[in-house]
């Protein structure tokens, strides 16, 4: 699985997501510009001691990734419910910046690839770290949690 953060702004969120990618065996892709330095001590603190294990890829532009992978999904408030999808075992999940989500031109260019996390009316969005975790674990659940310990060892 590949988690893509498009123009992330908050180092703590990215560090938290990085830790999630290590826990589930996913790659983390960051699309510039970033709202922080990758050398930021707060980013590394949020990623804890897992930071050296992050399979990190940094991209100058989103065009390096889209269109690209066979199975990709863009998370937005404008998509269909993510539970409607039968995910394959290697999807690319794209998430926008914390303050505004994905840019309107990205959304417009990929209308059949938009997914959303259902929530109550009036709630604009979840924290991006929470959204990534919810979506990623649904992909894993559908695929039988490949490579993950299902019981305490």
Structure tokens at 73: 């999904």
Q: 79 by DSSP, 3-state: which?
A: strand
Mean pLDDT for 140-149 is 92
In this prediction, residue 17 carries a pLDDT of 94
User: Does some domain include residue 152?
Assistant: no
User: Does some domain include residue 57?
Assistant: yes
pLDDT in tens, 64-120: 898 777 899 999 988 999 999 999 999 999 999 999 999 999 999 999 999 999 999
pLDDT in tens, 124-133: 888 999 999 9
The rounded distance, in Å, linking the Cα atoms of 3 and 1 is 7
pLDDT at position 138 over 60: yes
What CATH number did the domain enclosing 101 receive? 3.40.1280.10
Mean pLDDT for 45-61 is 83
CA 134, chain centre distance (Å): 10
User: Does some domain include residue 149?
Assistant: no
Mean pLDDT for 4-30 is 94
Percent of the chain residues past pLDDT 70, beyond the cut: 94
User: Does some domain include residue 29?
Assistant: yes
Quick count: other Cβ atoms within 10 Å of Cβ 119? 11
Q: What is the mean pLDDT of the chain?
A: 90
pLDDT at position 30 over 80: yes
User: Does some domain include residue 18?
Assistant: yes
User: Does some domain include residue 97?
Assistant: yes
Q: CA 36 → CA 8, 52, 85, 134, distances in Å? A: 8, 18, 33, 24
Structurally, the chain folds into a number of domains equal to: 1
Boundaries of domain holding 71? 2-142
User: Does some domain include residue 147?
Assistant: no
In this prediction, residue 7 carries a pLDDT of 97
């Amino acid at each position: 699985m590949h988690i893509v953060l498009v123009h992330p702004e908050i180092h703590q969120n990215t560090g938290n997501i990085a830790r999630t990618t290590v826990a589930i065996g996913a790659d983390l892709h960051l699309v510039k510009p970033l709202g922080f330095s990758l050398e930021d001590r707060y980013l590394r603190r949020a990623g804890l001691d897992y930071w050296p294990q992050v399979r990190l890829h940094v991209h100058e532009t989103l065009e390096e990734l889209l269109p690209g992978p066979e199975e990709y999904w863009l998370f937005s408030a404008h998509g269909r419910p993510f539970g409607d999808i039968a995910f394959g075992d290697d999807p690319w999940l794209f998430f926008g910046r914390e303050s505004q989500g994905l840019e309107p031109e990205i959304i417009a260019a990929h209308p059949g690839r938009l997914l959303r996390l259902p929530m109550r009316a009036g709630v604009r969005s979840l924290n991006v770290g929470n959204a990534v975790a919810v979506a990623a674990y649904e992909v894993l659940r559908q695929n039988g949690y490949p490579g993950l310990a299902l019981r305490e060892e």
